[in-house]
Amino acid sequence: MRLGFHISIAQGFSKVIEKAKKTECETIQLFSRNPRGWRYHELNLDEVEQFKAKRASSNISPCFLHLPYLPNLAAIKEELYTKSINSLCEDLMRAKILNIPFLIVHIGSRVSLSEDEAIERVIEGINQSLQRVPNQVMILLENTAGQGTELGSNFLQIQKILSGVDNKERMGICLDMAHAFQAGYDISTRKGLDDTLNEFEREVGLKHLHLIHLNDSKTPLASHSDRHWHIGKGYIGLEGFRNIVNHPLLTHLPGIMETPRKDLKDDVRNMKIMRSLIKD
């Protein structure tokens, strides 16, 4: 399993690969802009070219872009819904410019809509976006902890969305292990992990899985509270992650950590622990 982290773009895209190398990343994830705001600047093409050149000369692959947090493709308010679709279109275009083949997307919250109504909104929003931006960038839907009215905490909801999207070749899944655990899938044991992957295969299909988020959980099983924690320090635990990174159905996939980070030492420590769990 190729391991990596979410890398900050705070000092520019040209510094991303250098940062990634400091923690021995083999794969990376990043935002293309401020993840907590709607406003953004146009991409600095010189920075972009430096990023692409440095990445091409490194062994870091694959690379993933993550959509900002504010878009809600299930939004009932038309203004927010339109802004969310426009935001998705923007990052589909940015991913192409950055030569990044995958864009990770949070599915959204239904608020006052029924589950079926909200899922239809998500499907329509994705269909519009893929039609408006006809490149080859693949959207990866990320499962959720089921906090509040979040969609995507169970595999059946995800399957319904995949089934409804017209351009299925541009759709895939990012499976966040902390979110799955918080949603009620007990991946902390080998039996629980096997059961979870078997259910994923039945409902969604493992062929659609392109990325794993390797986050421990600060909250217990079925808490529906999204709190990431350091590897082995949470409720999934070291043995849980040992099972995950060595599972025959998962070892071919890249794994990105989004663990808490006060400084570089946190990432170095989490990477060291994760690598120690991988069997030769």
Measured between alpha carbons, how far is 85 from 128 in angstroms, rounded to an integer? Answer: 8
Residue ranges of the chain with per-residue pLDDT less than 70: none
| Residue-number span of the structural domain to which 89 is assigned | 3-277
Report the pLDDT value the prediction gives residue 124, as an integer from 0 to 100: 98
Q: Pseudo-torsion of CA 139, 107, 197, 249, nearest 10°?
A: 20
**Domain with 121 in it: what CATH number?**
3.20.20.150
Enter the tokens of residue 5.
């982290």
Report the pLDDT value the prediction gives residue 280, as an integer from 0 to 100: 78
Catalytic (active-site) positions: 36, 66, 69, 106, 142, 176, 179, 213, 226, 228, 258
Report the pLDDT value the prediction gives residue 11, as an integer from 0 to 100: 94
Look at the chain and report how many structural domains it folds into: 1
For tokens 């935002």, name the residue.
31
User: pLDDT (tens digit, 9 = 90+) per residue, 212-223?
Assistant: 999 999 999 999
In contact, 175 and 209? CB cutoff 8 Å = yes
Q: What are phi and psi of 122, to 5 degrees?
A: -65, -45
What mean pLDDT, rounded, does the chain reach? Answer: 97
